[in-house]
Structure 1
C-alpha cells in the first residue's frame, strides 16, 4: 500500500514536471509576457533540490530546442528570458550551469531586428511558425502581429474541426496567417483563401504561408488574395466560391465598419438561401461603442447574428481576461 502511494506521488510529480516544461516551451516560443511563465514551480524546485536539473531541462525545451535554431524568438526576448533563469538560479544558491551562460553569451551581442519568429505549438505535434513584427503597430498597420481573437478562433477551429473539413473557406483580414494556417494544417478544408489589403501584410502573409509548407505551387487548394473590402466585387466573391467565411479581429476601427458590413452583405446576398455561406466573426471587444456600432450596421443591412457560446480548449497562450466574442451571421 505504501509503495503504491509512493508510485502515485512519483507519477504525479513526473506529470507536473512535464506540464511545467510544456508551459515554459509554449510560452517561450509564443513570446508570452515573462510574468506569465510558471516561475513559482521552478523556484520551489530550486529551493528543495539545490539542483539546476530543471533549468537544464527548460533550456533543452526552449533556447536549445531545434525549433529555436530554425525560428528563434527575438534577441531581446531571449536575453530577458535567459537573464531571468540566471537570476532564479543565483537566488537559490545553485551551482552555475555552463549551458545557461553560454546561451546568454550568444544573444548578448546579437543584433536586434524589427522582425522575429513566433511559434504556436499545436496539440497534435508540430507548430505554426510565423514571421511577425516586434512592434505592435508598424508600417501604418496593426496587421503584422497576431491578435487574441485570431488565437481564440484558431482554438475554436481545433475544437470544431468538422466545421471546416471539406469546406471552401475565405478568411477576411488574415493578417500574418495564424488562424488560417492552423485550420489548413489541422482541419482539412477542401480550399482555403487568405485575404488582406495592405501590401506589407500580404507580403508577410505569403511568406508565412510558404514558411509552413502551404505554398500555392505545392498546395493549389491554398491561395492568398488581395481584397479591399470597399472594392471587392460580387464577381471576385463568386470566383472564390466560399461556403464558409471567417474573420478575426476585424472590428476595431469605426472608419472601416461600414465597408466591412457592405462586403458581408454581398457575401450573404446570393440568390438562393440554400447556398449562403456560413459566416463567423470573432472579435476582441476593446471599445464597446465601436462593437455595438458594428452590430447596429449589421441589423440595418438586414443581417442577423447569434453569439456562439461555450468554452474552447486552451491551446495557445494569450490574455484570457480579454472580452472576446464570436458571432455567426445569417439572413
Structure 2
C-alpha cells in the first residue's frame, strides 16, 4: 500500500510538472522568447525515460498547432527554428512525428516579414496579441516593439488591480500597447487613454487596440490620442481628468527628459490640491547617467519620488536580469 501511494504521488508530481512545462513552452513560443530559454532539458529527460513522443505531440498542440498560432502566428523564421529544434530533440531518441514534418513544411516557404505577431498569455488563459516590428529600431523609433519595462509594469498592474479599478488612466508613450491593453482587459478601468506622438507608432497602436477587441465602437471608454509632450496644453490635460498616469520605458533619451518632466509638472499643476493623480514611471535602467539625470530634473521641478519595491508575479517571459525600477511621483 505504501509503495502504491508513493507511486501515485510521484505520478501526480510528474503530471503537475508536465502541465507547467507545457505552459512554459506555450508562453515562451507565442512571445517569441529566445529558443535557448525554453525548457528543453525537461523534454530531453522525458524522451530518454519514457521513449514516447507524447510530450512532443502535446508541445506541438500547444504551440504551432494551437488556434492562437493560426490566428496570430509568430514569425515564419521563429517557427522554423522552433520546429527544427523539436525535430532534433526527438530524433535523438526515436523517429520524429509526422506532424512535426507537416508543421515544418507549412512554414518552410513562409516569407520573412518586417512585422510579426507576438502574443502574451494572461493568467486567465486569454492572450494579448500584438503586431510588432521584428527590428528593435525602425522608422526612427523604438516604439514599434514591446520592451521589458512595459512587461514589468503590466505584471505589476495584474498584482495591483485596485490602482486602476474604476479610474481614468492616461498612459504616456504607449508604444505598441502591451501594458495598456493588459490593464483594459484585466483591471477594469473606467476610462483608458493610450497616447504617443510618432505617427507610425500611433497607427500600429490603434491597430493593436482594435486587434484586441478594444475598438472605440465596442469600448467607447478606450481612446488612442496623439500627445506631443512639447506642445500639449494644460487645457488638453484638464480634459483627460486622469486619476492614474503611467509610463514605461520613456526615460532612455536625454534629449526628451526635459519635455517629459515639463509634462509631468503640467499634469500635477492641473490637478486639484487635494487629489493628485497617481503617477507611476517604470524604467529599464540602460544608462545610469541618463536615469540619474531624469531624477535630478524631477527634483529641480519640485517633484518627489519614491521607489516601489516588492516582488511581482512572473507572468510574461522576458530578460529579468535587466535593471528595472518603478517610481511613484508626488508633489
Give your verdict on TM over 0.5: yes
Residues 1:135 and 2:141 aligned together: no
- 1:273 Cα deviation from its structure 2 partner: 1.9
Aligned ranges 1:178-327 → 2 under 5 Å? 178-270=178-270, 272-327=272-327
Aligned ranges 1:24-63 → 2 under 5 Å? 24-63=25-64
**Cα separation, 2, equivalents of 1:271 and 1:33:** 44
Instruction: Output the TM-score relative to the length of structure 2.
Output: 0.99
Deviates most, 4-13 or 269-278 = 269-278
- 1:50 Cα deviation from its structure 2 partner: 2.0
Change (3 A) 1:184 1:310: same
Match of 1:176 in 2: 176
Change (3 A) 1:110 1:324: same
Mind listing any 5+ residue stretches in structure 2 that lack a counterpart? Answer: none
Match of 1:117 in 2: 117
Deviations 1:219-249 (A, max 9, x none): 1100000001111110111111101100000
**Cα separation, 2, equivalents of 1:41 and 1:161:** 34
Change (3 A) 1:122 1:295: same
- 1:49 Cα deviation from its structure 2 partner: 1.7
Q: Give the SS at the match of 1:274.
A: coil
Structure 1 contact 270–276 (Cα < 8 Å) conserved: no
Match of 2:10 in 1: 9
Aligned length: 330
Mind listing any 5+ residue stretches in structure 1 that lack a counterpart? Answer: none
**Cα separation, 1, equivalents of 2:270 and 2:46:** 61
Structure 2 contact 271–277 (Cα < 8 Å) conserved: no
- 1:274 Cα deviation from its structure 2 partner: 1.3
**Cα separation, 2, equivalents of 1:41 and 1:27:** 15
- 1:112 Cα deviation from its structure 2 partner: 1.1
Please list every run of at least 4 consecutive aligned residues from structure 1 whose deviation after the TM superposition is greater than 6 angstroms: none
**Cα separation, 2, equivalents of 1:49 and 1:8:** 18
- 1:271 Cα deviation from its structure 2 partner: 5.8
- 1:272 Cα deviation from its structure 2 partner: 2.8
Structure 1 contact 193–225 (Cα < 8 Å) conserved: yes
RMSD: 0.7
Structure 1 contact 169–246 (Cα < 8 Å) conserved: yes
Deviates most, 46-55 or 206-215 = 46-55
